[in-house]
Structure formats: C-alpha cells, structure tokens
Structure 1
C-alpha cells in the first residue's frame, strides 16, 4: 500500500535536552500511487488539506534538543488527528463495525479518520471504498504513528518529570475569529484549558505577539484529537496545538513558498527557543511547588 516510501520519521536531537516533543501529523506530501488512482482529484487539488511545509517551519526542533515526529503520508489518505475509527458509513461498500464512531462532527463534515473530502468540501473519491481498505490504513499507519508518539511522550516525561507536546498545523489564510474581523497569524489551542496550563498557553501567545504576530487562543481551533488525548496537565503532560496562517508563507493557489518563508521559519525558531527557556523555569517552579 505504501511500500514506496517511509510512513513517518522521528528527527532526533543528539541529546534530548528539553522536555518537548514536536509533532507534524498533517504535513505529509508523499501520495501512494494506488491512492491517486482511487481519487477523482488532480495532483494539486488533492493537496488542499495538507499543512503545507509545517515540518520545515518547525524544523529547528532537534537543534534545540527536542525530537520531532513528522508524517510522510498525506492527511487526505489517513488522518491521525482523529479517533482511530471515526468513519463515514457513506464512504464504504460494507457495513461498518459496531465500534466505529459514525456520529462525530468530524465525520459529518467529511473529515474523519479516512477523509471523504479535502478542504472546501471537495470529494476525494469517485466511488465507495472497500471497508478492508480503511481498516488496513488504520492498522498500518494510524496505530504505528500513535505508538511512536506515545513512546516519545513517555520517554520525555520519564526523563524530565514533565513534558510538553507541540502539535504543529497550518490554517487557510481566510480564517477569522467568529464575530470579529480578526484574521489571526497564529492560533494556540489548549482545548479551553484542559490540555495544557493557562501559563503555558499565555506564554506562547505573548511570545508570538512579541515577534509581531497576531495570535489568539482556541478560536476557531481549540485542538484536535492529539491535543485532547495526550494533554494531561495534572500529570505534568501538556499539549498545545499551534496553527500557522498559510497566507504568511505560501501562495495558496499555487502552493509555492513565498519569498519570506525562511524569515517566518526563523521567527518560529525564536519562539521555540523562548518556549524552551520559559518551560525550564516553569517546570522547576512546578516541581518545587509539589514538594
């Protein structure tokens, strides 16, 4: 199914020196030929759901001492930022198993574990899929990806007694905060305070604003399955989702990088360094308070 490329990789630092794990689950851009044959979309349209080049924007993570997990498979093929079996019964030629979640808002929107659409409600497939196809993708890609992410988080928590997962994404340039004319450059998602401490979220916002960006919290993106599933602040495990506005760094029509792509990556590297320095103090204070 995907034997022509590695499914994902972990870019490791020489030594993990900070309690961070960076994750880029939607920036994969290697499309299995069998998937392209199934799709009714052209080569550019099928890429509309990618978090374009987010793995490169946050690529400095290992240099700062943090591992980075990144997908090579595309989000349109299988979405690991979902429950394992959020499946749309209209997509498949057989009845779904009883454990499938067919009623989630994400399934209703066409963006389940096996997506039905790419961005802007464009249908991916010309015909229904065999159920075995979906289950194979989940077994071969989804489950190994999450097993790897769990290992990285557990290793980090065991080493430092504290851990921060930064789940890295991008958003369309036309996104705005509902009820306002605000078009944010970045959105920090913490599931409304349940996946990370407010101190971490506020620090992230302040660092981005200090770099000259317009940053907001949770609206319209509060974090997906990964943020919700792995964030356990009471146990010293914090998960933040960060969304970058694509209009800052690509031409959304051609998907070509803009000339200031490297400048944005440099600003994000400064942000990452600032977060590492903040967490070094914050984790120490938290540990002392617990004693």
Structure 2
C-alpha cells in the first residue's frame, strides 16, 4: 500500500516544476530500530531546503516534495543501482552507508532484495509517476516544462569530493539536460548573487536531472545543490540561520524568475 503521506504536490500555473526529493524525514514503522544511532539522526538530509523555496508556489511553480527520508529510498538514484559518478563511492538506491561511509543499519538488519523491491514500488515509483504527470501536464499546457531539482549538502564530505564545496552548484549534466540559453541565464544570476558557485563541477545532476532533462522534447532540467553553510551555521536543522536564509532566498528567487520567464 502506498503511504498517503508519501509526498505533497501543489500544482502551479507556470511551466516551472520544483522537485524536492531529499528533505523528508519520515521513516516507515519498524525501520528506525534497525538503523544505527547515527543514521537515525538522518545526517545526510537536505535540511529545510523546502523553506528556502517557500516563495516558489506564489511565483506559479508546481512544487513536488517527498516526505520520507532518503534512507528509505533515494529518489535521485536510478532504480537499477547504476553509479552516477564512476570515480566516487556509490551512494545507493537503498543506501547502506552514510555519506561518511559509516553504516546506515545495525549488523544483520540491512534490507534484502525483496524489501528493496518493495521500497521501489512503494516509495520510489509513485514519486516518479507524479513527476511524470506534472511534466506532461506542463508540456500540454505550455508546450514545454522546466524541472528544477532542489538539494543541499554539507560543504565538506571528504569521501565524496575534495575540498570545500562552493555555496551554489548548478548541474545540467554537462549542458545536455536543458537549453544552453537556460544554463547561461542561470549562470549570469549566480554571478550576480555574490556567492561562490560552480556549473557542472562536483555535481552535474543526479538521476532526476539526467533522466527527465530532454530539451529535444521541450523538457528542461537543472539541479541546484546548495552547501549547508550558505544558509545554516552547522549541519543540523536547528542551526538554520534566518539571516543567511533571507539573503540566499533573494538569490534563489532571481534564479527562478529567470526560469519562469524562459519557460
């Protein structure tokens, strides 16, 4: 049975669709006791990213937000478990390790193949089915769709990337997931915002960007990965900084305004 609280979706009036796959914190009954104490704190969550974009619906964007933790299933990974970054450790479809390489589960409590298949059908597929519905609806109404995938991460994760991450990281699968004019326009806004940024640097887009970004079908997709320290003073949700968030949201709003206009 598909959980009634699997995701929320507010349909907008523009061609812009926001996907927020990793800010959820729900766990199905019985899962938490199988997890390590550290994993139960959900350390790799995209903390409060939905709040950074709380203005998007008023701009006419459709907002699709997952409510379950990425440790249940990672909605931004391919269902077959293929690696997205061959030169880096795999962060899997049903993660067995935290980003720092420590285990998600207590020994002997890992999901078996049957449970993984259940999670695919129960948590992963319905989110993607709804995303496809919204993309198709946007194309039907506007002739095109612009998908913006919202993420955040700790600014330093040595196991996944070297050094300190820029504040804003735009990914377009090396320019193949959206029109070049769209990437260029967003890059101009990044330059104007005054934050450190990268375009197709460490993050070029996950499964959502790569799979749904098909500009030849008038379906454009971009991923924005934000470093925690651009809007928080630490790595937990209670360190959210209103002062930092106000400034960052003004930048993000300018980026989405461009996408609405281009869309």
What does the per-residue CA deviation read over 1:57-87, in whole Å, with 9 as the maximum and x for residues that have no partner?
122221111111010001111001111131x
1:203 aligns with one of 185, 189, 196: 185
Equivalent of 2:169 in 187, 194, 197: 187
TM-score, L = length of structure 1: 0.80
Per the normalisation by structure 2, the TM-score is 0.88
Structure 1 SS opposite 2:31: helix
Structure 1: which 5+ residue stretches go unaligned?
A: 87-100, 281-291
Query: 2:6: which partner in 1?
Result: 7
| Contact 1:110–1:116 under 8 Å retained in 2 | no
Deviation, structure 1 residue 174:
2.5
Q: Which of 225, 236, 248 is the aligned partner of 1:264? A: 248
- For 1:226, the equivalent position in structure 2 comes to 208
The reply on whether 1:124 has 2:108 as its aligned counterpart is: no
Aligned to 1:84: 79
Q: Is the 8 A contact 1:231 1:239 kept in 2?
A: yes
Whole-Å separation in 1 of the counterparts to 2:178 and 2:149: 12
In structure 1, C-alpha distance between the alignment counterparts of 2:157 and 2:84, rounded to whole Å? 22
Deviation at 1:276, TM superposition (A): 1.7
Contact between 1:168 and 1:241, CA under 8 Å: does it hold in 2? yes
Please give the secondary structure, in 1, of the residue aligned with 2:30. helix
Measure, in 1, the Cα distance between the counterparts of 2:84 and 2:176. 20
Q: Does 1:30 align with 2:10?
A: no
Residue range with higher mean Cα deviation, 47-56 or 63-72: 47-56
Alignment check: 8 A CA contact 1:25 1:81 kept: yes
What pairs up with 1:1-291 in 2 under 5 angstroms? 6-13=5-12, 16=13, 18-42=14-38, 46-86=41-81, 109-126=89-106, 127=108, 128-174=110-156, 183-256=165-238, 257-260=240-243, 261-277=245-261, 279-280=262-263
Q: How far apart in 2 are the matches of 1:253 and 1:104?
A: 25
Aligned residue pairs total: 256
Note if contact 2:16-2:146 (Cα within 8 Å) is conserved in structure 1: yes
Contact 2:47 2:236 in 1 (8 A): no
Q: Separation in 2 of the partners of 1:173 and 1:34? A: 32
More deviation in 53-62 or 160-169?
53-62
Give the Cα–Cα distance (whole angstroms) in 1 for the partners of residues 75 and 224 of structure 2: 16
Given that 1:190 and 1:239 are in contact with CA atoms closer than 8 Å, whether structure 2 keeps it comes out as yes
The 1-side partners of 2:48 and 2:67 are apart by 11
C-alpha RMSD over aligned residues: 2.4
Higher relative contact order (CA 8 A, sep 6+): 2
Distance 2:212 2:6 in 1: 21
What is the CA distance between 1:110 and its match in structure 2? Answer: 4.6
| Contact 2:170–2:198 (Cα < 8 Å) also in 1 | yes
Uncovered stretches (5+) of structure 2, i.e. residues with no partner? none
Partner of 1:98: none
Partner SS state of residue 47, structure 2:
coil
